[in-house]
Amino acid sequence: MPLVPPYIESLEPYKAGKPIAELQKELGIRDVIKLASNENPLGPSPNALKAMIAATAELNFYPNGGLDLREELARQYKLRTENVIAGSGSEGIMSNIIRAFLCDEDEVLTSDGTFIGFYVLARSRGVRMIAVPLKDYHFDLEGIAARINDHTKIIYLANPNNPTGTIFTRPEFDHFMKSVPSNVLIILDEAYFEYARDNPSYPDSMHYRYDNVITLRTFSKVYGLAGIRIGYGFAHDLLIKNLLKVKLPFEPSTLAQAAGIGALQDPEFLHRSLAVNAAGKRQLRDGLREAGFNALPTEANFFCIPLASEADAESLFQYLLRQGIIIRPLKAFGLPHCIRITIGTQEQNGRLLAALKNRT
């Protein structure tokens, strides 16, 4: 037996969006902007920061496993604490789902062109993964349903999807759920939920309460807390009970939990973030069109733009880097001819659009 199992050996370590400090050093300039990782351009929720500072006095004690945040979420969503889990980002909870529920002979089923984090977690468990092609840059729920078999254990859906920004609709989801056996677990990743929830055709998974669906949400995006690692999930008691068995006992950290609770009590920041995103979405949509780009419709805080070729995507990425603007080429997501641009502040969006227009 080799020391490293083949399914680990074949993995590539995750490459995050290029950090600002790295590009500043490379270019010798100071005003680099990062529109690469769907982070909140307004910074973190001020109330979350206040809550974290207050929590520092207790850092000599071990955390309580996210209990306070679970109780607060249960209160806000009118659930029982037994239906809520908190973890180190929604990806941390996803990792626990993989550990808790997958056996060697199980299969996972998802789409091409979705969140890389899920592919990595599934591959690192060494199980078979089936990825159904996107249909016009949308999840093909019918195509996914058609691939369910006796070995299917987990189906991963992201709504809105990263990196396309597209959603599947209520009727599509209703129809899909009719084909899913009750012993197949659906991970419904709603990392961008807050940006999409006012769209009447968006299926908010919490309206359904299926026993085999785990809803995952995060404080990383609209609450501006990607760096502290705090996310949460909602599901049937039985699923949560088993997730709690495999979770690291002391995640989330005391500061992460405090940040989450502080953020939940910061509706002003939530509304401001959504308003800035909505205005930025209009600004970029119109500006991109004027600059000759056909962005996909988005229900999140980023745009996905298909270009003519992989070479075009790479050369636009490199050009923008030289202008001090970091965006995300999507080769690693299986969409090599596409780029993704996070919606920034009005000023950041303006700088991006000016750079695109000045390109000869």
Q: Which stretches of the chain bind ligand PLP, using CB under 6 A?
A: 38, 89-91, 115, 117, 158, 162, 189, 191, 218, 220, 226, 231
Complex with ligand PLP: residue 86 or 320, whichever CB lies closer: 86
Considering the complex, what minimum distance in angstroms separates the CB of residue 160 from ligand PLP? Answer: 8
Considering the complex, what minimum distance in angstroms separates the CB of residue 150 from ligand PLP? Answer: 28
Query: Which stretches does DSSP call E strand in the chain?
Result: 33-34, 84-87, 107-111, 128-132, 152-158, 185-189, 213-218, 231-234, 302-306, 325-326, 328-329, 338-342
The answer to whether 65 and 240 are in contact (CB under 8 A) is no
Complex with ligand PLP: residue 72 or 189, whichever CB lies closer: 189
* Secondary structure of residue 171 in the 3-state scheme: helix
Complex with ligand PLP: residue 231 or 262, whichever CB lies closer: 231
Do the bridges between strand 84-87 and strand 33-34 make them parallel or antiparallel, or are there none, so unpaired? unpaired
Element (H, E) at 194: helix 193-196
Exposure on the CB side of residue 199, measured as CA atoms within 13 A: 21
Question: Quick one: 187 exposed, middle or buried, by C-beta within 10 A (0-12, 13-18, 19+)?
Answer: buried
Residue 130 vs residues 112, 151, 152: alpha-carbon distances, Å: 9, 11, 9
Considering the complex, what minimum distance in angstroms separates the CB of residue 232 from ligand PLP? Answer: 9
Considering the complex, what minimum distance in angstroms separates the CB of residue 90 from ligand PLP? Answer: 4
Considering the complex, what minimum distance in angstroms separates the CB of residue 118 from ligand PLP? Answer: 8
Is the alpha carbon torsion for 176, 177, 178, 184 positive or negative?
positive
Q: Which residue is nearest to ligand PLP (CB)?
A: 89
Complex with ligand PLP: residue 115 or 269, whichever CB lies closer: 115
Complex with ligand PLP: residue 220 or 257, whichever CB lies closer: 220
Complex with ligand PLP: residue 38 or 257, whichever CB lies closer: 38
Rounded Cα distance between 125 and 128, Å, is 9
Considering the complex, what minimum distance in angstroms separates the CB of residue 360 from ligand PLP? Answer: 33
Considering the complex, what minimum distance in angstroms separates the CB of residue 30 from ligand PLP? Answer: 27
The greatest distance separating any two alpha carbons of the chain, rounded to the nearest whole angstrom, comes to 59
Considering the complex, what minimum distance in angstroms separates the CB of residue 13 from ligand PLP? Answer: 16
Rounded Cα distance between 234 and 84, Å, is 5
Complex with ligand PLP: residue 18 or 287, whichever CB lies closer: 18
Phi/psi region, residue 193 (left: phi>0; alpha: psi -120 to 50; beta: rest), is: alpha
Rounded Cα distance between 28 and 5, Å, is 42
Complex with ligand PLP: residue 125 or 217, whichever CB lies closer: 217
